[in-house]
Amino acid sequence: MEVIKVKDTDIQSALDTVKRQYGSDAMILEIRKKRKYVFGPSYYELLIGIEQNLPKAGADLDNLEALEKAIRRLDAAVSALAVKEDELDALSKQTGFSKELLIKARAVPNEDWKHALRQYLSGKLEFVRLENIKFKSFPKVFVLLGPTGVGKTTTAAKLAGYLLLTKSAPSGFVTIDTFRAGAVEQIKLFGKAMNLPVEVVRRPHQMEKVLAKLPDAHYVFVDTIGRNPREIGKLTEIKMYLDELEECVPVLCLNAGLKKEEMQKAFEYFNKVFHVEYFILTKVDEAESINSAVEFMAENGLKTLAFANGQNVPDDLLFPDTENVLDMVGLSL
Ligand X SMILES: Nc1nc2c(ncn2[C@@H]2O[C@H](COP(=O)(O)OP(=O)(O)OP(=O)(O)O)[C@@H](O)[C@H]2O)c(=O)[nH]1
Task: Name which position in 153, 171, 175, 291 contacts ligand X (CB under 6 A).
Answer: 153
Site for Mg ion in 168-187 (CB under 5 A): none
Q: Mind spelling out the 3-state secondary structure of 37-94?
A: CCCCCEEEEEEEEECCCCCCHHHHHHHHHHHHHHHHHHHHHHHHHHHHHHHHHHHHHH
Contact 329, 152 (CB under 8 A): no
Of the candidate spans 37-45, 46-54, 122-130, 151-159, the one that interacts with ligand X by CB under 6 A turns out to be 151-159
Task: Name which position in 92, 95, 98, 153 contacts Mg ion (CB under 5 A).
Answer: 153
- β-strand partners of 8: 44
What is the 8-class DSSP label of residue 113? H
Give yes or no for residue 314 binding ligand X (CB under 6 A): no
Calpha distance 94→107 (Å, rounded): 12
Binding mask 176-205 for ligand X (x = CB under 6 A): -x--x--x----------------------
Of the candidate spans 37-45, 75-83, 150-158, 240-248, the one that interacts with ligand X by CB under 6 A turns out to be 150-158
Calpha distance 17→137 (Å, rounded): 86
Give yes or no for residue 311 binding ligand X (CB under 6 A): yes
Cβ–Cβ contacts within 10 Å for residue 180, how many? 13
Give the interface size with ligand X as a residue count (CB under 6 A): 21
Give yes or no for residue 257 binding ligand X (CB under 6 A): no
Q: What one-character-per-residue DSSP string does 17-42 give?
A: HHHHHHGGGEEEEEEEEEESSTTSPE
Of the candidate spans 134-142, 151-159, 237-245, 302-310, the one that interacts with Mg ion by CB under 5 A turns out to be 151-159
Q: How far is the CB of 292 from ligand X (least distance, A)?
A: 17
Give yes or no for residue 228 binding ligand X (CB under 6 A): no
Calpha distance 126→190 (Å, rounded): 30
Q: Which residues bind Mg ion (CB under 5 A)?
A: 152-153
Q: List interacting residues with ligand X (CB under 6 A).
A: 146, 148-154, 177, 180, 183, 226, 282-283, 285-286, 308-311, 316
